[in-house]
Chain A
Amino acid sequence: MSRGTGAGYDRHITIFSPEGRLYQVEYAFKAVKSAGATSIGVRGKDCVCVVTQKKVPCVQDKLLDQTSVTHLFPITKFIGLLATGLTADARSLVYQARNEAAEFRFKWGYEIPVDVLAKWIADKAQVYTQHAYMRPLGVVAMVLGYDEEKNAQLFKCDPAGHFFGHKATSAGLKEQEAINFLEKKMKDDPQFTYDETVQIAISALQSVLQEDFKATEIEVGVVRKEDRVFRALTTEEIDQHLTAISERD
């Protein structure tokens, strides 16, 4: 097996291409987009909110039990993860993240901080970009939680192993349009209240997908300073926010 020039193999496993790129990682990003969904995350003054579409266009939904479809996963009581991309890879990641968070709590006696978990996820992703025997995961993970010292936190971890803290961000099919929308809203570094945060996130999604949602078509997850726990909003609560948005316009 001649591997002298890496000819052709740089597209199959994560070795460098002649331009110094990792094609497998770039293809993993494309896989995230191919799943068809778009997600948004916004950090307010004392809260974080993430939103994603529940109904993904390519899923046959007549016989499907809609309540079993979810992209929002609690990792611990206080940290949530919104997965965008391939759902099977997402479940694997969530399983490992839950394990890691539980071990941390057991070993060190306190809850894992959000940035520590995000870094762990990103470091795991980096391993897949460097070792040929495992492919990168086709998932972008948004991790949200409330940190005692640094207040509300929103992190995004991608298949390349990058992770950053965000004031607002997006992932998935319409990622770039959503980021453009959010950049305009967050330009002057506003400190949104809880209601404003949720409504900005939902209206960003509505704007880039150019459709108005029903409460059953989207999933919303929040973490707030008041109770610190990560929870998914109920259909009623989502409805309230949707109404508030439409009355505002």
Chain B
Amino acid sequence: MGDSQYSFSLTTFSPSGKLVQIEHALTAVGSGQTSLGIKASNGVVIATEKKLPSILVDETSVQKIQALTPNIGVVYSGMGPDFRVLVRKSRKQAQQYYRLYKEHIPVTQLVRETAAVMQEFTQSGGVRPFGVSLLIAGYDDNGPQLYQVDPSGSYFSWKASAMGKNVSNAKTFLEKRYTEDMELDDAIHTAILTLKEGYEGQISSNNIEIGVIRSDREFRVLSPAEIKDFLEEVE
């Protein structure tokens, strides 16, 4: 891809064996808004802060949590524009799978293909790595799943994870609160509490986003009214 003049990779090894561009990409992720995900026994929840640059911005025009297929959703920390590119590519890959096999793509396979795209951009000529980490949540025949994909293209399955500005506090909080047999509504409450921990200012149904998938295998983004109900239960 790109001009022939740039047919060399911009991400190359340093003398100490590190890929510095990827490290910088991770720094970009680390300065992004906090997001997190929790896998419960009967579903997965992903959530993120939605801090907009000004009150003049129409918050209904912004949706940070996106569905990749009817049963897989994704949230990010880092650079919004890069996220949009990955969402578009992933959706296309999912559709290509469906066209070929007439079955919905399993979560692990979509994660693998998305990660492969991100890895490509660390090695191809004339491009930089993506400045986002993704949390992919899905429910398929293997049950509820949560994966985190990093700018390097490496991915892991998580019971609960967090990314972005408040990652260390959030992860500590999640480690304390997570239990293996947690149910989804409990997980949603925990997710809200974790976001609240590191939130600068007052948390409300307009400045966080929550996405949920249950055993019905339908990924949904909660409406502000539903978030409000959960917030009240948490208070």
* A237 to B84 Cα, complex, angstroms: 41
* A155 to B1 Cα, complex, angstroms: 30
Chain B: minimal CB distance from A149 (Å): 12
B81 adjacent to A20 (CB under 8 Å): no
B61 adjacent to A160 (CB under 8 Å): no
**Contact of B126 (CB < 8 Å), options: A21, A131, A161, A183:** A131
Q: Name the B residues within 8 Å of A165 (CB-CB).
A: 57-58, 60-62
A20 adjacent to B31 (CB under 8 Å): yes
A133 adjacent to B3 (CB under 8 Å): yes
Whose C-beta in chain A lies nearest to the C-beta of B126?
Answer: A132
Interface membership of chain A positions 173-187, coded 1 if the CB is closer than 8 angstroms to chain B and 0 otherwise: 000000100110011
B14 adjacent to A4 (CB under 8 Å): yes
Interface residues of B in 16-35 (CB under 8 A from A): 20-21, 24-31
| B201 at interface, CB cutoff 8 A | no
Interface membership of chain A positions 197-233, coded 1 if the CB is closer than 8 angstroms to chain B and 0 otherwise: 0000000000000000000000000000000000000
B10 adjacent to A13 (CB under 8 Å): yes
Chain B: minimal CB distance from A14 (Å): 6
Q: Contacts A16-B21, A133-B6 given: A125-B29 contact, CB under 8 Å?
A: no
A126 adjacent to B27 (CB under 8 Å): no
**Contact of B25 (CB < 8 Å), options: A20, A122, A160, A168:** A20
Whose C-beta in chain A lies nearest to the C-beta of B1?
Answer: A131
Interface residues of A in 89-126 (CB under 8 A from B): 115, 119, 122-123, 125-126
| A38 at interface, CB cutoff 8 A | no
Q: Name the A residues within 8 Å of B1 (CB-CB).
A: 131
* A127 to B1 Cα, complex, angstroms: 12
Chain B: minimal CB distance from A23 (Å): 11
* A16 to B79 Cα, complex, angstroms: 12
Q: Name the B residues within 8 Å of A84 (CB-CB).
A: none
B56 adjacent to A167 (CB under 8 Å): yes
B12 adjacent to A3 (CB under 8 Å): yes
Q: Contacts A123-B85, A126-B85, A133-B6 given: A18-B61 contact, CB under 8 Å?
A: no
Q: Name the A residues within 8 Å of B130 (CB-CB).
A: 130
| A162 at interface, CB cutoff 8 A | yes
A16 adjacent to B128 (CB under 8 Å): yes
| B80 at interface, CB cutoff 8 A | yes
A182 adjacent to B56 (CB under 8 Å): yes
B56 adjacent to A3 (CB under 8 Å): no
A16 adjacent to B13 (CB under 8 Å): no
Q: Name the B residues within 8 Å of A246 (CB-CB).
A: none
B14 adjacent to A19 (CB under 8 Å): no
A6 adjacent to B81 (CB under 8 Å): no
| A129 at interface, CB cutoff 8 A | yes
B121 adjacent to A130 (CB under 8 Å): yes
**Chain A residues within 8 Å of B, Cβ to Cβ:** 1, 3-6, 9, 13-22, 43, 115, 119, 122-123, 125-127, 129-133, 155, 160-162, 164-169, 179, 182-183, 186-187
Q: What are 27 A-to-B residue pairs whose CB atoms are below 8 Å?
A: A4-B14, A4-B15, A4-B20, A5-B20, A15-B10, A15-B21, A15-B24, A16-B27, A16-B28, A18-B24, A18-B27, A20-B29, A123-B85, A126-B81, A126-B82, A130-B85, A132-B10, A133-B126, A160-B79, A161-B79, A161-B84, A164-B52, A164-B53, A165-B58, A166-B56, A167-B57, A186-B56
